[in-house]
Structure formats: structure tokens, C-alpha cells
Structure 1
Amino acid sequence: MTLLTEMKVPDVGDVHDIDVIEVLVKVGDVVEEEQTVAVLETDKASMDLPAIAAGVVKQVHISVGDKVNEGSLVITIEPSSAKVAASDTEEAAIATPEAKVATQVAESAPVATASMASIVDVVVPDVGDVHDIDVIEVLIQVGDVVTTEQTLAVLETDKASMDLPSTHDGVVKEVLVKVGDKVNKGDLIARLEAQVKAEPIAAEPAIVESPVTVAAPVSEPKKSATVAAPVASTSGKLAHASPSVRLFARELGVDISQITQGSGRKGRILKDDVKKFVKQAMASGGATQGGAGIPPIPAVDFSKFGVVEEQKLSKIKRLTGKNLSRVWLNLPLVTYHDEADITEMEAFRKALNSDKSADIKVTGLIFIVKALVAAMQKFPTVNSSLSPDGESLILKQYFNVGIAVDTPNGLVVPVLKDVDKKGIAELTNDLNSLSQKARDGKLLPADMSGGCITISSLGGIGGKAFTPIVNAPEVAILGVTRSEMKPVWNGSEFEPKLMLPLDLTYDHRVIDGAEGARFMATLINYLSDIRRLLL
């Protein structure tokens, strides 16, 4: 006779109420011996339940979310024919009178079931007091074969997104929504041709199946927090991801269907996979061409509007563009705007330059460089870089300042080295030398490396404020625009003061708002009274 094998949860130690986190088989599946049929999880580890015999799954007794214990029934398997034959021989030899009676009763009243096709409507369930829910993804089309609990569409309210699962196994006959639609409770989403069981009908005599209970072996527990599941490809299939991961991808502008590999179990896409996809897109330069799921700027044939001329970008501008795009997408940037009273500083500078015997002319930029380094010495975080893994800060004990210089070929950033160890005259000579090399196109890589912070000055051109972009891996950049005489209230009257606009952009992962404001206040204090640099 045909034997059914019952798989039960084996002895896993003194553990109770074990969570069922995945059921990997359904009725009718053919399984091999040792094939994982379900995954259980305790508060310390996850474990696979392997099939104890090869055969066909006749019944699944658990579902995701259940809690099981030692001896709980997992699945019932009808073993393959070779093993059935051997089992039949053994059972015939030891059959009891009760078993024979049961067999005779079964033969006297044989029944069987037949299945028939039925059209099933899938509708929006009750999701609470929410109306006009947005349809943001439709994951099926007519002709698709779907299984129970497979996501058919994704809906989104102003607070959360939710998957709409299939209620039956079947074939999609009609899809009644599209992306952009708004739906409510009870609205029709799709129609399926599902297989349902009909009433019992007369059949050929059948043999009563006697279940044989066997405890399932359990594979060695795997530490879910430390052992990564093998990467499985989802190429050619619909994205397999949870609603929270789909929402995370949309927030980053990522088309999740472009992620062809998921590192989760059975190829599920995790947040780390989305982050990795974005990083790869930016590393390949795709960020400037619609990478990371960002829609590219459409191509336009400008020649139809009039005469045009195409001019190749210089290599400097191409590289600068890629670097700035990478920074803009990677760093959460904040810009803080303020003004410094440089009336006394400017008077001091003019006094220095009025000396006929002086070999050099001091610019206001040099004073800003010295004041900036003095402020950085009080705020070490500003003189740092974030480690590649984002887990620690690299604090620098040297003070080098990059100066953005405009050249015919594009923007370059030569670096003034060891600013804290040099005086005004030496720094002025260094700046003049580097600026001339930049204009002549003779800067070497060593001249543009090792910067701790950058100054971008538009003072010679104009403007009142702007938002400079951090020159990563630095964490801050100081923007400077043209100074202007303004009436400033001193408590009793207005005084004419020369005010210098300053714009500090910083990486918010490293510098928070309060620290950025305190740093700028310290810098302004030094610029307002340059004598403080001697303290």
C-alpha cells in the first residue's frame, strides 16, 4: 500500500515557540531528500528543515508566522515509487487486522476529487480609513502564472506602502489597474483563472494511505546575523523585495527592477543591495547620465532652432563634473551663511601694502586662510575625513588649504601646505606661485593633493552668497564673496563697517548644525580682530 511520511520538527534543544520565517514548498511540489522545505528562527539563529525523503508534497501543515515546537507536524510526503514498493512489502508482512479492516472499508466506498477552473476576483482589502490609495507598481500582466501570496501590485498611502498578494494560484486573465491609478477598499485589481476543488465524485477503488511518522533531521544552525546567504540572481523575474525596501529604493530614485541580484534568501533584494547598486552606478560615471535610476535629461536636437556649434569639454571640466555629481549624490550637504566684519583687517592689509620697501602685496585671502586654520585647530572634526565604510573619522594633524582657481581650462584646486607653520609673507609667495602655475597649466598632481579644506572665492567677481560643493573626501568648503560697506548697529548708533559674506558648506554626516555654527562664529571672531591669531 502507499505510505505517507510525516515530517515533524526534531529535537532542537530547550527552545519553544520557534518562528516559521519561510515555507519553501507547496502541495504538489516534488522534493529531493535533504532539500530545504522550511526555515525556522529562534532569537539566536535560523535553521533549515531538510526533507527526510524524496517524493511529492501531499500536505503542508505550517505557514509563515506560525510558532512550532519539537514534534510539530511540518509536511506530509508521498515517497517516490522505489521506496514505496519496499515499504509496501514490509507493511504487508506486518499488517494488523485493524489495518486490513480499514483497507476493506476504504475499498467498499471509494471517492476522489476533481478540480475545475474558476474565475476569482482580487480586490483591494480593508486597509482602514484610507481613501484614494495610489497604485505605484503593477507586477503582473495577462497570461502570467501566479501563486498564492505572490505580490500582484504595490499600493502607497501618504504613510506607508503595501503589497497586494494573490489570494489563489492561477493564471492572470485580466488586469484592471495601472500605475498612477487611485483605488479604494473593494476596487477590482485583477481576475485570475484559479484551480478549485469540486465536490467528491465516484472513483476507482483506492487504498487507504497509512501515515508513517518520522522526525525530520535538522541542518546545523546558521547564525543569521553573521552568515550571509548565497547571492541568487533574479534576472528575468519580477523584483523580489519587501515594501520597506521598495520604498527605500524609490526614495533614492532607484528603479528596483534594474537590480538583477539580491543577497537575501531566494534572491530577495535587501536595502544593502539597493545601496550597492547606487554605488556601482556612481562609480561607473552613471550618475551624470541618469544612473542610479535617476531619469536622464532627454536629448534635444538644438539645430532645428538655429545654428549651433559643438565644443568638447576639457578633461578638467569632465573630471570635475563627475566628481561634483558624485559628491552631490553621496553627501548630505548643508550650507551656513554669515558675515564677518573685516574693517580692521582690511585697514591692516592696506597699511602693510603701503610700505614701499615690501616685496609682496598681501591679499585678504591670505588672512582668511590663516583664520580658517586657526578655527580648524579648535574644531578637529572640520579637519577630518570619513572612512570609506562610514564607521569612523580620520582626524588629520596637518593643515593644508586648497584654493579654487579659475583657469581657461576649468577649475583647479592647488593646495597651500603646512599653513599653520608659515607666516603671511611665505603663504603669499606660495599662493602667487601656485596661481601662476595653474594659469599656465603646469600644476603637478602633488600640487593639488593633500587638502584638508577648500576655499572658493568669488570676491574678485561679485555676488552676495552661493552654495559651494564640498571637495570630497574633505568634509567642508568655505565660500567667499565680495565685501560691502554696510551700516551696522553698535548698540547706540549705526557705524559703517566692511562686511564680508561667508558661506560654509559641510558634510552633515560629520558636522552637525550646532558645530557648524560654532565653527563659523569662531572664524568670524578671528577675522573681525586679526590680532587674535597671535594668541
Structure 2
Amino acid sequence: MKAFTLPDLGEGLAESEIITWHVDIGDVVTLDQVILTVETAKATVDVPAPYSGTITSRHGNEGDIINIGSLLVEIDEHANVTTTHAVTNTASSETAQSPTSSRSQASSKNDKPNSPAVTKDAATVVGNVSQASHNINIDEYWVGSEKSHDEKVVITALPSARVLAQKLGIDLHHIQGSGPDGVILDCDIHQASDQQRPGTEMLRGARRSMAASMAKAHQQIAAVTITEEAILSTWATNEDITTRLVQAIVVACKKEPALNAWFDPDTMTRCVHSMVNIGVAVDSQYGLYVPVIRHADEFHAEDIREWINDTVAGIKARKIGREQLQHGTITLTNFGAIAGIYATPVVSPPQVAIVGAGRIIKKLIMDNGKPKEVNALPLSMTFDHRACTGGEAARFMKALVSALES
């Protein structure tokens, strides 16, 4: 019997949300077969089986938030297709009598969490988890049992879960841990909190990531917002607004590259990019996603529209990879497609600028001494004043408006 825990899926992210289970208890899986899909940092990741065998246990439900090292499944490598059903039927009565019998038997052979057998069985998507991932610092303490003063009940919980339970007012006595040997994890506390307070929800997936990144931006960035308007008198009636904005940002980045950059406050260094990778903010029912159109300066108008359509479809289906959300050098948010004229968009570090487009409005201008009604596109750009001067931001905005008005 081998235990498979949630591996580190990259970028040092500590938690993931279970989106879909592709296997159930009793299913026979093969090496590298996808067993579940999780979401982390706004990206969905398919997790493959580390070895072949029969699924004997499955831990966590769809929608649960789980931490790295949490037990996902246990796989019996010795079971096969012809014996799976027989084993399941004969074991059902035993399971009813003792739900943790198989786990207890396994633990009796390896009482020490650092034993070689445990280390060998701890596999991840890319190999074996380090021994440290199973050396979990579990907080154990005894409480009196309601049945008898002579009996004691042991509660095992991660220290972080105990602290979280205290903050949320959750009684650990009523929590069934989902970790190895019933260890109470942070996700168990979150789930109990959701059930305890109707009408509230725990932020998950893209919304949870957005909350963390916005807090980081608020703490770190010296944000300044500059606004302007582009007069669209030369536009055709069927202009693709987002495509034109992407093209105009490319032009502005070429003329004033200081806004197409990354800034590292720890080393006080700025990296000005030659390529233009534009993150395009996309609103969805699952939260805010910012996929990146890489080398946007090499795209034609029809290519940009095709990329937008394909990407939005992928987000709606929750099929967007982590690599599609990386390496942006500047961001566009077209909030005016919904509502709003001006805004103060939030820069996402290490980027130094974000361009926002508001709702197109009607304006009266003087044309050869006569009033004329025109369409105007409100523009708002927030920039990190640590990395960019006001003059650089103003020149960028001027180039952006000029490209839109041409």
C-alpha cells in the first residue's frame, strides 16, 4: 500500500483547491493517469498517478482547500483488475467494523514517521517527496472524554490548524481530520467555518489568490494614477476595442519602455523589457484571471482577437495553465466593458504599470469653431513611482492616446 500526498505544484504555493476527482475508490489506475484536477494561483493543474494499482482510499472533496503534504489517495500496487471487485466486496464488512484498519496496520509496521518505508512510499508528480514533508510537526494533546473520566481522547492537529480554529472559534472536538491518521488540517477548519456561518464563504481559487496579490501590492507599491481621454473620431463603428488597446499599448511601450518593466525593491534594480507581454484582466464567475499574451508586438489584429476568444473560453471551462498567467510585463484592464469611466487600477508586482480603459462616453468638442459630438475613451494608468518618473508616465500616456486616435 502506497500513500500519495499533494506535492509542491510550483512557485512555493502552500495550498490548492480540489476541482474534480477523476477516480473513485476501487478504480484501477495506471502510471501517469490523471486522478484529480486542482487549482492553485489561478491556474488549474492535472495531477497524475505516481504508480499503477487500485485506489483503496480517497481523501478530500471537490471544493476543499488542501495543503502540500495532505494525503490524497492510497494505492495498492498488488491489486489487479481481476481481483479488485472481490477485494472490495470482502473488505466492505471489515471496513464497516473498522474504518481505519488498513491505515492502522500500515502504521504498526512503521511507527516512526521518518522510517525508510514511509519515505519510499511518499511520491509526487515529479518523483519522491523529501523526507521532511512527512516529518509533520503535529500538535497532540489530551482532553477528557464525556464517556468516562478514566478514558482519554487524543486530538491530533497541525499547529497552524489549532491557531486557525482559535481565531474562528471552531471546537476541535467536533472536527474529523482529513490528514494521515485523522490529523486535523487547515482545510478541515476552513470547511467547518463554512458550515458554521451560513451566508459566508471562504475565498478559494482565483479569488483567494487575488486577495493575497492585492494586499501585497497595497503594501509594496508607491502607486500614482494618471488619466487621459482618447478621441475616437476616426474609428469605424465596428472597431474591436480590446484589440485596439493591445496594439496601442505595444506602440506606447516601444516609445516609452520605462513602463514596460519589472522592479525589485530588495535589490533596487529595474529590468526594462524589449518584448511586450501584456496581461489582459478577465472577469469570470470564479474570480479575476490575468492571462498573458506573450510577444504581443508580433501579433496582428486578427491574432489578438483569436487569442482573446480562446483564452476566455479556457477560463470559463477552468482549463487555463499556470504558464499562461506568467511573465507579464504590463497589464490591461478593460473595465469599461462593464461599467465605469475612470479608476485607480492596482499594479501587480513586479510589474510597474497597469492601463485601464473606461466606458466610451459622448463629448462635445469644438471643430473649426463649431460644436461636434464625438466618442471619447477614458484612460487610467497606475504606475509604481519608485520605478517610473511622472514624465515617463505622461509620455507613455501621450503615446497611448496618439496610437488610439490614429
TM superposition score normalised by structure 2 = 0.50
- Equivalent residue, structure 2, for 1:439: 316
- Equivalent residue, structure 1, for 2:154: none
CA distance in structure 2 between the aligned counterparts of 1:522 and 1:434, rounded to whole angstroms: 28
Of 326, 339, 355, 2:216 maps to 326
- Equivalent residue, structure 2, for 1:477: 354
- Cα deviation digits, residues 296-349 of structure 1 (max 9, x gap): xxxxxxxxxxx951212122111111111111111110011111012312x1x6
CA distance in structure 2 between the aligned counterparts of 1:481 and 1:311, rounded to whole angstroms: 30
CA distance in structure 2 between the aligned counterparts of 1:374 and 1:400, rounded to whole angstroms: 13
Give, as a single letter, the amino acid of the residue that structure 2 aligns with 1:407: S
- How far has the Cα of 1:459 moved from its partner? 2.0
- How far has the Cα of 1:504 moved from its partner? 0.3
For residues 103-182 of structure 1, what are the structure 2 equivalents within 5 Å? none
CA contact (8 A) 1:314 1:410 kept: no
SS at match of 1:385: strand
CA contact (8 A) 1:466 1:479 kept: yes
CA distance in structure 2 between the aligned counterparts of 1:486 and 1:378, rounded to whole angstroms: 28
- Equivalent residue, structure 2, for 1:376: 253
For residues 128-277 of structure 1, what are the structure 2 equivalents within 5 Å? none
- How far has the Cα of 1:428 moved from its partner? 0.9
Of 395, 400, 419, 2:277 maps to 400
- Equivalent residue, structure 1, for 2:341: 464
Counting helix residues as a fraction of each chain, which structure ranks higher? 2
CA distance in structure 2 between the aligned counterparts of 1:390 and 1:455, rounded to whole angstroms: 27
- Cα deviation digits, residues 469-490 of structure 1 (max 9, x gap): 0011110001111101211123
Give, as a single letter, the amino acid of the residue that structure 2 aligns with 1:470: V
- Equivalent residue, structure 1, for 2:232: 342
**How many pairs were matched up?**
211
SS at match of 2:331: strand
Give, as a single letter, the amino acid of the residue that structure 2 aligns with 1:338: E
CA distance in structure 1 between the aligned counterparts of 2:227 and 2:265, rounded to whole angstroms: 29
- Cα deviation digits, residues 223-274 of structure 1 (max 9, x gap): xxxxxxxxxxxxxxxxxxxxxxxxxxxxxxxxxxxxxxxxxxxxxxxxxxxx
- How far has the Cα of 1:391 moved from its partner? 2.4
SS at match of 2:234: helix
CA distance in structure 2 between the aligned counterparts of 1:464 and 1:369, rounded to whole angstroms: 19
Residue 314, structure 1, aligned to residue 197, structure 2? no
CA contact (8 A) 2:335 2:359 kept: yes
CA contact (8 A) 1:403 1:413 kept: yes
- How far has the Cα of 1:491 moved from its partner? 5.0
- Equivalent residue, structure 2, for 1:112: none
Unaligned runs of 5+ in 1: 1-288, 290-306, 351-361, 530-535
- Cα deviation digits, residues 61-90 of structure 1 (max 9, x gap): xxxxxxxxxxxxxxxxxxxxxxxxxxxxxx
- How far has the Cα of 1:379 moved from its partner? 0.9
Give, as a single letter, the amino acid of the residue that structure 1 aligns with 2:219: L
CA contact (8 A) 2:258 2:392 kept: no
Give, as a single letter, the amino acid of the residue that structure 2 aligns with 1:442: K
- How far has the Cα of 1:510 moved from its partner? 1.1
For residues 282-297 of structure 1, what are the structure 2 equivalents within 5 Å? none
CA contact (8 A) 2:259 2:392 kept: no
- How far has the Cα of 1:363 moved from its partner? 2.0
SS at match of 1:505: strand
CA distance in structure 1 between the aligned counterparts of 2:198 and 2:357, rounded to whole angstroms: 35
Give, as a single letter, the amino acid of the residue that structure 2 aligns with 1:320: M
- How far has the Cα of 1:389 moved from its partner? 2.5
- Equivalent residue, structure 2, for 1:117: none
Between structure 1 and structure 2, the one with the greater Rg is 1
- How far has the Cα of 1:454 moved from its partner? 0.7
- Equivalent residue, structure 1, for 2:286: 409
Deviating more after overlay: 388-397 vs 507-516:
388-397
- How far has the Cα of 1:439 moved from its partner? 1.5
- Equivalent residue, structure 2, for 1:495: 372
CA distance in structure 2 between the aligned counterparts of 1:445 and 1:480, rounded to whole angstroms: 26
CA distance in structure 1 between the aligned counterparts of 2:328 and 2:205, rounded to whole angstroms: 21
Give, as a single letter, the amino acid of the residue that structure 2 aligns with 1:512: T
SS at match of 1:459: helix
Of 305, 311, 314, 1:428 maps to 305
Identity over aligned pairs, percent: 28
CA distance in structure 2 between the aligned counterparts of 1:494 and 1:390, rounded to whole angstroms: 53
For residues 84-103 of structure 1, what are the structure 2 equivalents within 5 Å? none
- How far has the Cα of 1:411 moved from its partner? 0.2
- Cα deviation digits, residues 336-391 of structure 1 (max 9, x gap): 1111012312x1x62xxxxxxxxxxx621101100111110111111111135342
TM superposition score normalised by structure 1 = 0.38
CA contact (8 A) 1:437 1:443 kept: yes
CA contact (8 A) 1:414 1:438 kept: no
CA distance in structure 2 between the aligned counterparts of 1:491 and 1:389, rounded to whole angstroms: 54
CA contact (8 A) 1:468 1:505 kept: yes
CA distance in structure 2 between the aligned counterparts of 1:315 and 1:422, rounded to whole angstroms: 30
Considering only aligned residues, what root-mean-square deviation do their CA atoms show, in Å?
A: 1.7
SS at match of 1:344: coil
CA distance in structure 2 between the aligned counterparts of 1:457 and 1:363, rounded to whole angstroms: 12
Give, as a single letter, the amino acid of the residue that structure 2 aligns with 1:482: R
SS at match of 1:503: strand
Deviating more after overlay: 487-496 vs 373-382:
487-496
- Equivalent residue, structure 1, for 2:363: 486
CA distance in structure 2 between the aligned counterparts of 1:458 and 1:484, rounded to whole angstroms: 14
- Equivalent residue, structure 2, for 1:304: none
Give, as a single letter, the amino acid of the residue that structure 2 aligns with 1:332: A
